[in-house]
Structure 1
Amino acid sequence: MSTQLATRLVEFVEALRAKGANAGPSESIDAADVMRVLGLDDRDLLREGLAAALVRRGGQRDVFDQTFDLFFPVGVGRPEAARDADENLDVQQIRELLLMALLDRDPRTLAQIAEIAVDVLGEVGQPGTDTAGWSAYQTIDRLQPQTLIAAAMAMRPGGGSGSGGQGLGTQFTDRLARDEVRQGVEAFREMVQAEARRRSAELRGRELVARHAVRSSRDRVDFLSANRQQLEELRRSVKPLARILATRLSARRRRRRRGKIDMRRTLRRAMGTGGVPMKPVFEKPRPTRPELVLLCDVSGSVSGFSNFTMLLTQALSAQFSKIRVFAFVNAMAEVTEIVRDGAVSGGGDIETRIRAEARITKWHTSSDYGEAFLDFQEFFLDAVGPRTAVLILGDARNNNQNPRFDALHEIAMRSRRTYWLNPEHHTRWGLGDSEALAYAEIVPMHECANVDQLTHFVTRLLPV
């Protein structure tokens, strides 16, 4: 392997590691062996070989593919399809080409049209300056491929309509055809994004584009900045993640079943070995599981984080003797049944049901942790006992209201353990109307900005 190729591979691994991939020296050596054996003649084969060596966790394959396309591109410079295309192509002509490709369901033609579209519509900035680049957003915004779905359905035999007494069978096939066209549009979007990243990387450098343009893996997406699609993907990952976490919690519980050392019985047994405690005697473990109480801020700023965590803990319900869930904006209400029903149905309607059925606000709609803690202290304090672990979910932004440290202190004193999970990065704690640093003096506060940090908390700190 040449020095240039080895340097490219090291840079590729470093870019993956920056996005959360567990790729260390051993994986890098495996990847180098893969490249030595497979060579560079078959790019798809090389992609699969490197993925086998470097992708160790689920949810990271998309990150790998996007980064691979930057460091091992299919071509360099202006693509052949763009060079061969008519220089006078306008938006409408490209839309017509895209419409025909969607009808033909030809991935290769879609890829060529994506290259042409980026070349014609995606250039931004001033050529030859630091502002130069290629924008997938600008290309998609000008082309509007989603508006071609209806046109593609209308050009199908039968006009794409399942109405007019044609029967359920025709309606079903029309729905399948519409889904196929929609999938083609989404695939085209991905191709445009990949081409824009490749062209921009040639101008601005692969490392810079990989850092800012490659989407993070699902477990590294910040809860507070996640869009609707990313939150939906997180909801779908709850059950697989819960199975993994349940296995880890069970392993922790098995390790603790030996109990503590019984000093009196250990010293008595040591009398038979000259006073040397060769075999310690352990106390009998208590076969009990802790109770869990969640206090969740469901205001707009942190609702995605709270909803995900509520679903996750409900999926882990077998690991606890009892789980009770309370939601608040500035008034505390129990929502255990709503969360339980939402976990069964997939979790899409939890936020809507909580806002419709639970009294989580009073005379205003801004977060007020102090008022919510006071409500819990007055109406629900009996939910906390010596076997209870309390998890508080929220960003601790109190909108300059009375934080009521006394109410939080009483909740913490009654519980076995109390933890605060904050989805904001710790560098923002205490800024503006945040009371995070003050609350952290009463209960331990942990940064849980993404699934990876939340998983670490559950497996290492959550009582078992």
Structure 2
Amino acid sequence: MIKRVVEFAEALRRSKVPVSLLESIDACSSLASCDIADRSALRSYLSATLIKDHSHQKVFDQLFELYFSPGTYQHGNGELLSSEGGDEADGVFDDFGDIELRELIKESLLQGDEVQLHNLLASAVSRYAGIEPGRPVGGVYYAFKTLRQLDMEKLKLSLFDARFEEMDKSDSLGIKMMNRDIELALDKVRKLVDDDIRRRIVGDRGAEAVARTLRATLPEDIDFMHANADELREISRALAALARKLAARLGQRRRRGHRGSLDFRRTIRRSIANGGVPVDLFFHKPVPTKPELVIVADISGSVASFARFTLSMVYALSEQFSKVRSFVFIDEIDEVTEIFESSDDIEQAIKLVSTKARVVWLDGHSDYGRVMESFVERWGEEITHRSTVIFLGDARNNYHPSRSQVLASVRMKARAVYWLNPEPSAYWDSGDSIMSQYSVYCDSVDECRNLRQLQSFVEKLV
């Protein structure tokens, strides 16, 4: 069992969940006081010892289901932990047709018969999934085949008809609650099918082999440009916690990591007590320097989520900068500094930016060259040697003129110019991307596709 926990900890590390050697030892030690035949207790013990950040819990749960799925690992007495239903259900319902099997599943859901439901769905997986031993196919494919044959839409309608007969037809709230209960019941069916397929695949190929093919992504590694609605919410939650930690860390580094110039007079005066030998060095009190930021962000559809999270991060860390000015654009540019400064809620400010900022001039497609020219004409005189200018965008110019020489004039005035690109570097200069034409006038061009890369850049900047 200890070997299984060590393999589980290694799988977490491969998924970029930070698990130290000491934490792995603690997890193994905790087994002495845990009833490891009880999966929920085992999950709690391992989670308490291995997980430090709530945003990592989802990856933990995914891998736990692989490494400690019922019927796939041994507990203290050397026996496999039995599953609810499991393989013993295979063959029990072979004589039933597809319609009868679906009807029995419906009745099990209505009556709340968990054991029979497990057995019925295990039988459905055996009948419909067509799992081929040794074949490196993910469980999603097998689950799709099973659920398609069960016809979830018909199952939903039959549950609705059965429940609706007992309802007061004028009770709108009751009907809404009934619909919610039906959706929860269908989610349970999907989960039980997934669990049974996972157990069979792990039993065939081993937990480690399956874990290596699993797409277990931490919120800080989710790609901004390809995140779905649920993943965007995960990123938002992780961003708030990350910004707080980063602000505390950077503030501490600024206080401790910098010291002023040598105080020659004080050092010599104190050295008299040591015969003129300067044993102790004294320094002037440092005057911390904070960068002045000018952010120019493309908020067109292709990179909007990237700009949103970057602006949120910067304003959450605004105390680390002497001044922050923000500009947004598509094919026209507008300053939105006042919107951010007047709002206590960053998310609300982002929404106001998208509705109030004047960022469309002609056709609503990004035109970096025209925007840079307009930026320099209207605000170029305000760029000084204290200004750090950061451009956010994919440099896809829709085949408009680049006007890259305008960026050269910005670089001559500014302290530094950085460019954050949310696309993989392999895609730069492909199609209408003209990243290389702008990169020659930047101090650095960084790929910034997720929170981890954004955090790395902010730490370097500050």
In the alignment, which residue of structure 2 is the partner of 1:56?
52
- Kept in 2, the 8 Å contact 1:389–1:418? The answer is yes
In structure 2, do the counterparts of structure 1 residues 221 and 196 end up closer, same or farther at CA, with 3 Å as the change threshold? farther
Deviates more, 1:98-107 or 1:73-82: 98-107
Residues in 2 aligned to 1:428 and 1:384: alpha-carbon distance in whole angstroms:
31
> Which of 426-435 and 440-449 deviates more?
426-435
Residue of structure 1 in register with 2:332 after alignment: 331
The answer on 1:15 being equivalent to 2:23 is: no
Give the Cα–Cα distance (whole angstroms) in 1 for the partners of residues 377 and 104 of structure 2: 66
Cα distance in 2 for partners of 1:175, 1:455 equals 43
Contact 2:247–2:317 (CA under 8 A) maintained in structure 1: yes
Question: Post-superposition shift, 1:234?
Answer: 1.7
Query: Retained in 2: the 8 A contact 1:266–1:277?
Result: no
Question: Which residue pairs with 2:228 in the alignment?
Answer: 227
Question: 2 CA distance for matches of 1:336 and 1:151?
Answer: 56
Q: 1:33 to 1:83 in 2, by over 3 A?
A: farther
State how 1:243-254 maps to structure 2 within 5 Å: 243-254=244-255
Q: Which position in structure 1 is the counterpart of 2:287?
A: 285
Q: Corresponding residue for 1:455?
A: 455
- What is the correspondence of 1:20-419 to structure 2 with a 5 Å cutoff? 20-35=16-31, 38=34, 40-75=36-71, 79-86=87-94, 88-90=96-98, 96=103, 115-123=122-130, 134-140=141-147, 145=152, 155=163, 158-159=167-168, 162-163=171-172, 171=173, 178-179=179-180, 181-255=182-256, 259-262=259-262, 264-265=264-265, 268-269=268-269, 272=272, 273=274, 274-276=276-278, 278-285=280-287, 289-336=290-337, 344=345, 346=347, 350=350, 354-382=353-381, 384-419=383-418
Contact 2:59 2:216 in 1 (8 A): yes
Distance 1:66 1:334, change over 3 A: same
Q: CA deviation at 1:65?
A: 1.6
Secondary structure of 2:461's aligned partner: coil
Deviation, structure 1 residue 71: 1.7
Partners of 1:315 and 1:343 within 8 A in 2? no
Describe the superposition over 1:113-138 as per-residue Cα deviations: whole angstroms up to 9, x where unpaired.
Answer: 654554444447x6775569653344
Flag the 1:382–1:162 CA change in 2: closer, same or farther, 3 A.
Answer: farther
Shift of 1:19: 0.9
Q: How far did 1:66 drift?
A: 1.3
State the distance in 1 between where 2:346 and 2:111 align: 37
Evaluate the alpha carbon distance shift between residue 295 and residue 144 of structure 1 in structure 2; reply closer, same or farther with a 3 A threshold: farther
Deviations 1:254-307 (A, max 9, x none): 225x64214544565466351526132214525x75433322222333222222
Deviation at 1:198, TM superposition (A): 3.3
Change (3 A) 1:88 1:184: closer
Please give the alpha-carbon distance, in whole angstroms, between the structure 1 residues aligned to 2:370 and 2:14: 41
State the shift of 1:402 in Å.
Answer: 3.5
1:203 CA drift (Å)? 4.2
Q: How much is the aligned-residue C-alpha RMSD, in angstroms?
A: 3.9
Q: How many residues align?
A: 444
Secondary structure, aligned partner of 1:237: helix
Match of 1:166 in 2: none
- Asked if the contact 2:92–2:123 (Cα under 8 Å) also holds between the matched residues in 1, the reply is no
Q: Is the 8 A contact 1:391 1:419 kept in 2?
A: yes
Would the aligned equivalents of 1:153 and 1:159 in 2 still touch at CA under 8 Å? Answer: no
The answer to whether the 8 Å contact 2:298/2:307 transfers is yes
Query: Does the aligned pair in 2 maintain the 1:70–1:198 contact within 8 Å?
Result: yes
Partner amino acid, structure 2, of 1:315: A
Sequence identity percentage: 34
Q: Distance in 2 between matches of 1:297 and 1:432?
A: 18
* In structure 2, C-alpha distance between the alignment counterparts of 1:292 and 1:105, rounded to whole Å: 59
Q: Distance in 2 between matches of 1:313 and 1:372?
A: 22
- What is the CA–CA distance in structure 1 between the aligned matches of 2:64 and 2:119, rounded to whole Å? 19
- Normalised by the length of structure 1, the TM-score is 0.79
Change in 2 beyond 3 A, CA 1:368/1:48: same
Equivalent-residue separation in structure 1 for 2:157 and 2:315 (angstroms): 41
The amino acid across from 1:449 in the alignment is: R
Deviation at 1:226, TM superposition (A): 1.3
Are residues 363 and 254 of structure 1, via their aligned partners in 2, closer, same or farther at CA, if it must alter by over 3 Å? Answer: same
Match of 1:168 in 2: none
Q: Is contact 2:267–2:281 with CA below 8 Å preserved after alignment?
A: no
Deviation at 1:374, TM superposition (A): 2.2
CA distance in 2, matches of 1:374, 1:324: 18
User: How many angstroms apart in 2 are the aligned matches of 1:190 and 1:333?
Assistant: 48
Write the distance in 2 (CA, Å) between the matches of 1:343 and 1:83.
Answer: 62
CA–CA distance in structure 2, aligned partners of residues 345 and 181 of structure 1? 37
- Tell me which structure has the larger Cα radius of gyration: 2
CA displacement, residues 398-450 of structure 1 (integer Å, 9 cap, x when unaligned): 34444333322333443344332222334444444444455444221223222
- Give the residue type in structure 2 aligned to 1:135: Y
Distance 1:160 1:64 in 2: 44
- Per the TM alignment, residue 74 of structure 1 is displaced from its structure 2 partner at its CA by 0.6
Which piece of structure 1 moves more, 58-67 or 360-369? Answer: 360-369
Letter of the 2:243 partner, please give it: A
Change in Cα spacing, 1:67 to 1:99, as seen in structure 2 (3 Å) is: same
Provide, for residues 213-270 of structure 1, a one-character-per-residue CA deviation record: whole Å limited to 9, x for no partner.
34312222122221122112222333333322222232233225x6421454456546
Whether the 8 Å contact between 2:271 and 2:278 is mirrored in structure 1 is: yes
TM-score normalised to structure 2 length: 0.79
Q: Distance in 1 between matches of 2:393 and 2:187?
A: 34
Match of 1:423?
A: 422
2:391 alignment partner AA: I
